[in-house]
Amino acid sequence: MKDSSSRSFRDPDALIARAGVAGEPDYDQHFLVDDRVLDRLTGYLPTDTDTSHLLEIGAGTGALTDRLLAHGERVTAVERDPTLVEFLRTEFEDAIAADRLTVIEGDALDVELPDATASVSNLPYSASSDILFRLLPRSIPLVVMVQREFAARMAADPGTDEYGRLSVTAGHYGESEIVEPVPQEAFSPAPPVESAVVQVVPRSPAYTVPDDAFFLDFVTAVFTQRRKTVRNAIRNTAHISNLTEPENVVAAVDDETLRKRPGDLSPTQFAALARSAFEHGEPTVDGRD
């Protein structure tokens, strides 16, 4: 890990001016310009993080990229705006020439992501969920700027209004913690919502599931009926979870669990339910159809 405590970083507003852009709210483009927040982001990585290859999704004009280069050995920055990609390659040409920075042009949901050791990103809010579902299975430390409501769902406990599919999915791969709320004025242009920084520390879950993909699809299916009982949610979502025999699952699960709502089940209870569904429901997944 590099020592960046005494380094002077590029000014975020000056970067925007040099790039000749203003941000496009209609395209979910809000640049983080608060130096204090930018300076703190890399510090939210766990102290034992391997920083040999850092990944940034949505590099924008490079204010965070500059700090990542000071914190890690190598950085890969993904940016979908061609104008900003050209700017980044000019602004950071020395780092690129030194093989310390790679700029990938394209949508983070489509491009091939490298085998990075950690990721620090100001995520586009409209794609936060889909991007995280690509990053979480990599089991690397994450520091992500997201919409504050989204952050609350990532870190929510069972039985709360915020608890849902995202909570269980994030918890399956790591421990999520909101480490800093971020006001709207920290961005240019200011988004219509408040933001928050979430730290995700990878860990293995305290439970076992027969198949990760089936487990996460099953959780997604059941939460589409979060107002229903678990019994009815299993029956009503067999077309989503690909269960050919949902009644067999209902017959195999204890009545106390079946009477609960999905939002009241802990991840461990969801795992037990998924194991029963996989064993008794005859799902049409690889190896079982």
58 is in an annotated binding site: yes
Place of tokens 């979908």: 80
pLDDT for res 286: 53
Peptide bond into 189 cis (omega under 30): yes
79 is in an annotated binding site: yes
pLDDT for res 27: 78
Tell me the mean pLDDT per 10 residues along the chain, length 289: 67 97 84 97 97 98 98 97 97 98 97 97 94 96 98 96 95 96 96 96 94 93 96 96 96 97 95 96 69
Beta carbons within 10 angstroms of residue 104's beta carbon? 19
30 is in an annotated binding site: yes
287 is in an annotated binding site: no
What the block records as the tokens of 201 is 């520390």
Domains of the chain, start order: 12-202 (3.40.50.150), 212-280 (1.10.8)
Task: Report yes or no on whether pTM surpasses 0.75.
Answer: yes
pLDDT for res 251: 97
* Residues whose CB falls within 8 Å of the CB of residue 93, separated by 6 or more in sequence, listed in order: none
pLDDT for res 26: 78
pLDDT for res 3: 53
For residues 55 and 69, is the Cβ–Cβ distance under 8 A? Answer: no
- What is the C-alpha separation between 82 and 217, in angstroms, rounded? 34
Per-residue pLDDT tens digits for 224-268: 999 999 999 999 999 999 999 999 999 999 999 999 999 999 999
